[in-house]
């Protein structure tokens, strides 16, 4: 690995992760990306999207149903979703891998979300919402969360993936190949979503926790990705993600290099002690990743490219 120096920040020594971007000898053979929070993000809060689906379905039924749906509290929906998702994940991990279909896994999540939120929303009741659930579920599962209706690309995601593709297409025969993939704790709708967001063509493979039966931070998932890419067991691999506990810790634990893409506020929330315990690099956005990998003609890509941890 190509990690370098220490510098002083106040009275405390902080390590800096330096990936030498000097040419093919230092470039990873495989780069993988997390999805949610890294390549794309919800277009609105979960509570907003769930309420939108319920209200649209309610208007098909009656004014009374619509009034009840409009009374749903968006914050209560968001909180109820987090609880329902966590409960379902404990009961049947990896979106029901080996136990049920992804669609069957999501049914109780949606039902529990609406039921719990209705109990917290004045002017609404579970009984009033129950007839709306089949239609709302169809909208959420088959439309909203597998299209641009529910997701948007993160800043610089499309440009970064396009730059990787452009470099690979123009790669001189003397340059080793660079494999690009997606490794994400997601269900089996992810390839379709990436296609609809216009970025599926930029990656060689998409590996989900649902498909693998294990999820990040498991080293097994990263080993599976290495196998799908067909790179040597000792080849350098880099994983890019926005979750310290899943992406950074997982990649480092699998012997990969890790790039933590997040804001200063997100890093502060992790805490200095945790950050210092795991070797990783950091960027606030994906915009400088092509330079980090020494792709193209960027001036900063011609020498050592250091990213503060």
Residues 6+ apart with CB under 8 A from 301: 21, 290, 291, 292, 293, 294, 295
Q: What is the pLDDT of residue 296?
A: 57
Please give the Cα distance from 210 to 183 (Å, whole number).
11
Instruction: Tell me the three state secondary structure of residue 257.
Output: strand
Q: What is the pLDDT of residue 25?
A: 54
Residues 6+ apart with CB under 8 A from 192: 146
What residue ranges in 64-213 does DSSP mark as E strands?
151-153, 179-184, 205-208
Taking the whole predicted model, whether its pTM rises above 0.75 is answered as yes
Q: 221: which 2 tokens?
A: 């998932």
Q: What is the pLDDT of residue 11?
A: 25
Q: 113: which 2 tokens?
A: 């979300």
Please give the Cα distance from 223 to 237 (Å, whole number).
10
Question: Which regions in the chain score pLDDT beneath 50?
Answer: 1-22, 297-309
């Amino acid at each position: 690995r190509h990690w370098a120096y220490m510098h002083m920040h106040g009275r405390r020594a902080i390590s800096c992760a330096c990936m030498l971007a000097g040419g093919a000898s230092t470039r990873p053979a495989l780069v993988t990306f997390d999805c949610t929070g890294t390549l794309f993000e919800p277009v609105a809060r979960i509570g907003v999207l769930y309420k939108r689906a319920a209200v649209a379905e309610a208007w098909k039924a009656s004014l009374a149903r619509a009034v009840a749906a409009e009374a749903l509290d968006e914050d209560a929906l968001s909180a109820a979703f987090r609880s329902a998702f966590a409960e379902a994940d404990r009961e049947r991990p990896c979106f029901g891998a080996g136990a049920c279909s992804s669609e069957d896994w999501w049914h109780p999540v949606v039902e529990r979300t609406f039921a719990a939120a209705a109990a917290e929303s004045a002017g609404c009741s579970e009984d009033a919402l129950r007839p709306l659930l089949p239609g709302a579920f169809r909208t959420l599962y088959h439309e909203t969360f597998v299209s641009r209706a529910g997701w948007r690309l993160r800043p610089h995601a499309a440009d970064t993936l396009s730059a990787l593709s452009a470099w690979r297409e123009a790669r001189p025969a003397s340059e080793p190949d660079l494999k690009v993939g997606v490794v994400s704790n997601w269900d089996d709708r992810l390839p379709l979503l990436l296609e609809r967001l216009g970025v599926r063509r930029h990656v060689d493979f998409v590996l989900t926790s649902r498909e693998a039966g294990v999820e990040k931070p498991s080293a097994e998932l990263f080993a599976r990705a290495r196998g799908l890419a067909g790179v040597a067991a000792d080849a350098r691999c880099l994983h890019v993600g926005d979750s310290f506990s899943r992406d950074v810790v997982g990649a480092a634990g699998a012997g990969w290099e890790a790039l933590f893409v997040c804001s200063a506020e997100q890093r502060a929330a992790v805490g200095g002690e945790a950050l210092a315990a795991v070797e990783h690099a950091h960027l606030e956005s994906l915009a400088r990743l092509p330079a980090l990998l020494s792709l193209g003609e960027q001036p900063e890509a011609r020498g050592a490219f250091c990213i503060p941890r």
